[in-house]
Chain A
């Protein structure tokens, strides 16, 4: 009996070892593919050499110094400024409009709600390039010239779904009896929204705003069509620098971006449990 049990235990532990081995291998592979490039870019950004090459030769901060130099990196700084301005506006508007839309759609049960949901979520699945081209043609047709406002409008459409999703998820977790309780206690719709709904979906709104902001900063396809020399955007500028000169400053920009996003992610995770929300 005892022998049988140990044999069974051994077989199970063999299975466990195989399981851990395979999962571990896959995890290591995933890490290699996901984290590897980040490490390569980071390492490259500290190179002493004059062009992007891996492994880096020597260690220096010269490319960061050049990048932060206001005069010599003026175009990059302007692109960063444009990108942050557009992202702030697009994410801000997306947060207000997306929250309002999510609240309205949560109330409109049934066909209309589902249709509206599918409509607003479409930009997530629609190829960005197709939308960028369409937006350019449409805005031109209306007589607009490329401008930051046009970029904000274009980005707004593609980043709003993030807010819609996270706020929608928060709303669906909201206990409807809380709303009944608020009403029965004498609160009208406005007080109910301000005192009960809004505080309870605030983490979802914050998560959505963060995702929308990052999606705008990161956006290439829409910016590609809607930006001009005057309204240069950071990802487009980086691409241009890579194409023409293999400028190491691109690696330095990437390094700063990675660091910023990493810190922001930590902050968001701390306050809103972002990863939990993205899963939901």
Chain B
């Protein structure tokens, strides 16, 4: 389900805390003959959460492991605050990681887990004790300090993992699918919690995820990855509203892909003809308009609306299931050419009874994307 991108007026990081920058330059990682990362460039701003979003095998985890120092790159550089960390082993990189399965030390208490990184730094005992107490207070786990990890719930374990990673005052915080193991209701709580702490501490963070909702709600910017490259980098709103490729538009939110014919562009509008004869006019995005020819129209469910009468800019559809979801109705439909469609309409007192057939058009002002037809697309 598409989630409207979150916009939080208080979202800009506190200016009093200066986070660290992370720069990745031309990073290439190969496993045998397989190129997991292909000359990736990325600049993470101080105090920002950047999400690496993509399907499994897209290189997001490899990028995280290379920044952490677990994987060695074939080419390229990783810089923290402008200084290369390529020659530092993982234990000297000052990078905090929250692992997908939390990776808490099962034979140590909560407090010992949090103290571990400080003991590695040979802090004095009283200083460690004070810092551990402070961190456990911060993640609201003070009373559980002597418990073993297996005695904690999933959410509590994650708080311990977070406190342990924050204890070493990392310059960069890496979050490796941290919410994947939590159940749905807890996930949102933890997302808010992590975002709150990250803001409060002015941390620079990278979130690896394959969950677009998670990326949208937590991240300041999203890098959509595919095949070892970054396909698009932008704010959640940009990536959602102006997907640069068909892959991005399909991966972020749900999208209806309709084969169409690009007729031309005039007065800032692209003229498109659908196979069933409807002529649509879509506002052009910032990208250069496509040349006339076969193309694919990517239109989001909320950009379509149903009408009872035919018109030039509408196409006939056969209606299928209608499901009430929250304040909206999700409708399934099929074009005459057989392409499945999904659309969303606001629900005003019950589900409107439309019968089996309707005409579908664009919502006024909608900006659907037009991509090259797969047959003509250069890969």
Contact = CB atoms under 8 A, between A and B. Distances in A.
Interface of A: 175, 177-178, 180-188, 191, 195-196, 199-200
Given A187-B91, A196-B105, A180 B117 contact: no
Given A178-B105, A195-B116, A186 B121 contact: yes
Contacts of B116: 182, 185, 187, 195
A180 B97 contact: yes
Given A187-B91, A187-B116, A181 B107 contact: no
A177 B101 contact: yes
B103 interface: yes
Contacts of A191: 120
Given A183-B89, A199-B107, A177 B120 contact: no
A254 to B, nearest CB: 40
Given A184-B68, A187-B120, A177 B92 contact: no
Interface in B77-131: 89-97, 99-101, 103-107, 116-117, 120-121
Contacts of B70: 180, 183
Contacts, number: 65
B91 A181 contact: no
List the 10 closest pairs (A to B, CB-CB), nearest first. A185-B117, A186-B120, A177-B103, A181-B103, A183-B90, A187-B120, A184-B97, A199-B107, A183-B91, A177-B99
A196 B104 CA distance: 10
A175 B121 CA distance: 24
B244 interface: no
A178 B103 contact: yes
A154 B103 CA distance: 42
B95 A184 contact: yes
B164 interface: yes
Contacts of A196: 105
Contacts of B100: 177
Contact of A180 (B103, B107, B120, B164): B103
B168 interface: yes
Contacts of A195: 105, 116
Contacts of A177: 99-101, 103
A106 to B, nearest CB: 17
- Chain A at the B interface: mostly helix, strand, loop or mixed? helix
A196 B103 CA distance: 11
A180 B89 CA distance: 11
Nearest to B121: A186
Contacts of B89: 183, 188
Interface string B136-165: 000000000000000000000000000011
Contacts of A200: 106-107
Interface of B: 68-70, 89-97, 99-101, 103-107, 116-117, 120-121, 164-165, 167-168
A187 B103 CA distance: 15
Contacts of B167: 185
A183 B96 CA distance: 10
Contacts of B103: 175, 177-178, 180-181
Given A187-B117, A199-B107, 18 more contacts: A177-B99, A181-B103, A181-B104, A181-B164, A183-B89, A183-B91, A184-B91, A184-B93, A184-B97, A185-B117, A185-B164, A186-B120, A186-B121, A187-B91, A187-B120, A188-B89, A188-B91, A191-B120
A180 B105 contact: no
Nearest to A186: B120
Nearest to B112: A195
A191 B68 CA distance: 18
A111 to B, nearest CB: 15
B121 A181 contact: no
Contacts of B104: 181
A40 B101 CA distance: 54
A191 to B, nearest CB: 6
Contacts of A185: 91, 116-117, 120, 164-165, 167-168
Contact of A186 (B99, B101, B168): B168
Contacts of B92: 186
A186 B107 contact: no
Contact of B90 (A178, A180, A199): A180
B117 A175 contact: no
B157 to A, nearest CB: 13
Contact of A184 (B96, B101, B105, B107): B96
Nearest to B170: A184
Nearest to A195: B116
Contacts of B120: 185-188, 191
Nearest to A175: B103
Contacts of A183: 69-70, 89-91
B70 to A, nearest CB: 6
Nearest to B90: A183
Contacts of A188: 89, 91, 120
A184 B94 CA distance: 7
Nearest to A202: B107
A187 B104 CA distance: 15
30 contacts: A175-B101, A177-B100, A180-B70, A181-B97, A181-B103, A181-B104, A181-B105, A182-B116, A183-B89, A183-B90, A183-B91, A184-B69, A184-B90, A184-B93, A184-B95, A184-B96, A185-B117, A185-B164, A185-B165, A185-B168, A186-B91, A186-B92, A186-B94, A186-B117, A186-B121, A186-B168, A188-B91, A191-B120, A199-B107, A200-B106
A183 B69 CA distance: 9
Q: Which of B70, B93, B96 has the most CB of A within 10 A?
A: B70
Contacts of A184: 68-69, 90-91, 93, 95-97, 165
A258 to B, nearest CB: 35
Q: Which of A177, A182, A184 has the most CB of B within 10 A?
A: A184
Q: Which of A186, A196, A199 has the most CB of B within 10 A?
A: A186
Contacts of B168: 185-186
Contacts of A181: 97, 99, 103-105, 164
A181 B121 CA distance: 15
